[in-house]
Amino acid sequence: MNRITLSRFLLDAERQGQLADATLRELILTVANTCVAIGDAVNRGALAGVLGEAGTGNVQGEDQKKLDVIANDMLLEANEWTGQLAAMASEEMDDPYPIPAAYPQGPYLLLFDPLDGSSNIDVNISVGTIFSVLRAPEGKTGIEVADFLQRGTTQAAAGYVLYGPQTMLVLTSGHGVNGFTLDHGTGQFVLTHPLMRVPETAKEFAINMSNQRHWEAPVQRYVGELLSGKTGPRGKDFNMRWVASMVAEVHRILCRGGVFMYPKDSRDPSRPGKLRLMYEANPMSFIIEQAGGAASNGHGRILDLQPEGLHQRVAVFLGAREEVDLVTALHAD
């Protein structure tokens, strides 16, 4: 079998003008290689003593797991010296991480959620790394928060690595979505899921139902219609899944369809949602749109939102276009 490794795939993409330049190619390879090492720590779990709480909190006041901190440090260390980046930002750090003066500056900004779904880590359920690549302002030294606040439409690339039964990298640079499976024998990602597409028809939805009493009316109505099954307005039954790992949820939707929701709710009226725009919603929306699906905050396209803060939260509805359009239309009623 003629195996297409990630390195070869990216070189072909660059030659075909589907990847901006060699620097972006090298950057994606660096992130992918680091994720192989993060996956190794995730796999070894208790054997490596990496499970449990770190005893620290992040900027959102959420408890950090040891592996949140380990994965964050691994991504910083692997990317700070390469000359590909001007700065990095992470869900786990209050402020952007500037490239140390000892190393050359590069043209890109890297944003990541080093270990998404980490509440699952101690119970051996899938987690993942999510990343987004933006262009740094040209010739600027001293990158500031404002330089990161670019609309999702400007992303040069985005991807995730799912640490599940298989370790998989799913990637877009704006020319479709491709999935690669880690061959643990060679340590290489191999193209196994070319040009992934979100199936047009949805039969599954994903939402944390325990929050139902806190949802706003449009979400109550939409999920009520899904739950009413064959005799309801949708005229068919829907199944439900909730892994509480967005990476696993998005991956399922890319493979067999459906819609994922983390809506705004009334528990904290000042909070527009749980998920973070820059580290979760934008990269996942880019991937889903590139696979033919849609992503909305209930009022419009997520990728069009002008970010106002590095750690800004947003309501998320993503997956099959028909479903995302329906739930968005209900918000306009």
Complete DSSP assignment for 1-28: ----BHHHHHHHHHHTTSSS-HHHHHHH
Q: Does 113 bind ligand AHM (CB under 6 A)?
A: yes
Residue number, 118 or 155, with CB nearest to ligand AHM: 118
Q: Shortest approach of Mg ion to residue 314 CB, angstroms?
A: 12
Known binding residue 26? Answer is no
Q: Which stretch binds ligand AHM (CB under 6 A): 113-121, 171-179, 250-258, 287-295?
A: 113-121
195-224 footprint of ligand AHM as x/- string (CB under 6 A): -------------x----------------
# binding residues, ligand AHM (CB under 6 A): 13
Reduce the DSSP state of residue 160 to 3 states and report it: strand
Task: Give the residue from 191, 154, 103, 122 showing the smallest Cα distance to 306.
Answer: 154
Ligand-binding annotation for 7, yes or no, is no
Instruction: Give the shortest CB-216-to-Mg ion separation in angstroms.
Output: 22
Residue 20 or 158 having the CB closest to ligand AHM: 158
Contact between 285 and ligand AHM (CB under 6 A)?
no
Nearest to 125 by CA among 34, 209, 241: 241
Beta bridge partners of 65: 53
- CA torsion 284-288-289-292 (nearest 10°) is 180
Which of 11, 191, 227, 244 contacts ligand AHM by CB under 6 A? 244
User: Within positions 97 to 156, which residues make up the interface with Mg ion, using CB under 5 A?
Assistant: 113, 116
Site for ligand AHM (CB under 6 A): which residue of 72, 90, 118, 328?
118
Rounded-to-integer distance, Cα 19 and Cα 178, Å: 13
Residues in the chain: 333
Cβ 275 to Mg ion, closest distance in Å? 7
328 to 200, 202, 270, 302, 323: CA distances (angstroms): 17, 16, 21, 11, 9
Burial call 71-103: b when 16+ CB within 10 Å, e when fewer: bbebbbebbbebebbbbbbbbbbeebbbbeeee
27, 32, 116, 171: residue in contact with ligand AHM (rule CB under 6 A): 116
Least distance to ligand AHM from the beta carbon of 135, Å? 25
End-to-end Cα distance, the chain: 54
Residue 117 interacts with ligand AHM (CB under 6 A): yes or no:
yes
Instruction: Mark the binding-site residues for Mg(2+), compressed into ranges.
Output: 91, 113, 115-116, 280
Binding-site residue positions: 91, 113, 115-119, 208, 274, 280
